[in-house]
Amino acid sequence: MISSLASTASGFVLLLRFVRIVFPLVDRELAYWQQYAATHGTHELSKQALASIATKKFHCQGGSVYCLYKHVPTENFIKLVVALQTISDYLDNLCDRAGIADETAFRQLHLAMTDALDPDRPLSDYYAAYPHKDDGGYLQSLVTACREQIAKLPAYHLVKAEALRQARLYSELQTYKHLDPLVREEKMLSWSNPHLASYPGITPWEFAAATGSTLGMFMLCAAACNPSLTASQSAQIGQAYFPWINGLHILLDYFIDEAEDRQGGDLNFVSYYASSEETLARLTLFVKQARHQASSLPETAFTITVLDGLLAMYLSDPKTEPPAQRIVRDKLLYAAGWYPRLMYIFCRWLRKKHKL
């Protein structure tokens, strides 16, 4: 009981630091990139850059929790998280909101993700196959900002291969998922099915969900801030995040967006579950597996707090209020325990105050 209370107190301290210290720093970084996008590049690219920041700010907020990990220099790490996540969100808009469905163009654009995590490789021509090309240096500047921070990580050589593997899988997902609806499902299955032998017990769509998260990349980079990191610890982190923690993250994201995606004709991985009961069962499995994986990691309490925060942040979204979603939400929260439910109430308060 005493250790449980101590862990809870530690989680609350982390949460308060997150809101009071991290959120303002994230706002500052986003304001810089917002100003850059507003004053550089052609109208279409500037518009998509600004829209990605305006509508996906919470992605940067969520990812920046890793700046509170042990040994991490807060301000520098926020620069890394915001730059990498902004690349991800911007490219998502270019592939999904600009009326373009070109596999070659999407693949070329997403070289920015692997370039950002590999300071040793030359920068690519990201717009080589894309119809709009002049962003005033916006995307290259984001990539360079990531590389500058990664070059400061003393143990990055131990996590680099896994970070790049996850970035490549992320890029492959984004290349296929934004294609024309007539071809995207077949392309997605042809891509994901060969990987499933390495991940027994998950479906092709759950594998795809795991590839869609940036959390594993952020955690690996946070761990690399510790000069005493070992290869064994790095491997443990990679296995814990992929597929279970990453997968939980994106399945929650798709769960709250399911109705919206159905109306817009967008691909949604949760929609492949046959019923609300199956959705609840699979999300519950991912919660249990993610918690189990967290128990084997260094700084276990930190990772458990992140998992509880994921549940609270996503399930507090107003999009979970319709009856079918609410039933799944409430049962997930009940199964998760009282502390995630308390964080859920706090996140609802943050939303009312427009801080989330």
Residue labelled with tokens 């999407």:
106
Residue 9 confidence class, pLDDT cut points 50, 70, 90: low
Residue recorded with tokens 């907020």: 61
| 268 secondary structure, DSSP code | -
φ, ψ dihedrals at 40, nearest 5°: -135, 150
**Residues for the chain: how many in total?**
356
Q: Which residue has the higher pLDDT, 11 or 217?
A: 217
Reduced to 3 states (helix: H, G, I; strand: E, B; else coil), residue 31 is helix
Report the first-to-last Cα separation within the chain, whole angstroms.
Answer: 32
Question: What pLDDT is stored for residue 8 in this prediction?
Answer: 53
Q: How confident is the model at residue 63 (pLDDT cuts 50, 70, 90)?
A: very high
Where are the domains positioned within the chain? Answer: 19-152, 192-356
Tokens of 243: 């597929």
Segment 43-64 shows an average pLDDT of: 95
Q: Which of 104, 109, 81 is nearest to 22 (CA)?
A: 81
pLDDT at 1 over 60: no
Spatial separation of the C-alpha atoms in residues 287 and 119, rounded to whole Å: 34
pLDDT in tens, 100-134: 889 999 999 999 999 999 999 999 999 999 999 99
> Could you give the C-alpha distances from 145 to 81, 83, 86, 137, 220, in angstroms and in order?
10, 6, 11, 12, 18
**Other residues' Cβ atoms within 10 Å of the Cβ of residue 152:** 13
Q: Is the peptide bond before 243 cis (omega within 30 degrees of 0)?
A: yes
Q: Average pLDDT of 213-220?
A: 98
pLDDT higher at 222 or 343: 222
Helix, strand, or coil (residue 354): coil
pLDDT score of 11: 67
Give the pLDDT score at 96.
85
Is residue 145 very low, low, confident or very high in pLDDT (cuts 50, 70, 90)?
very high
Stretch 23-50: mean pLDDT: 96
- 19: its two tokens: 């809101």
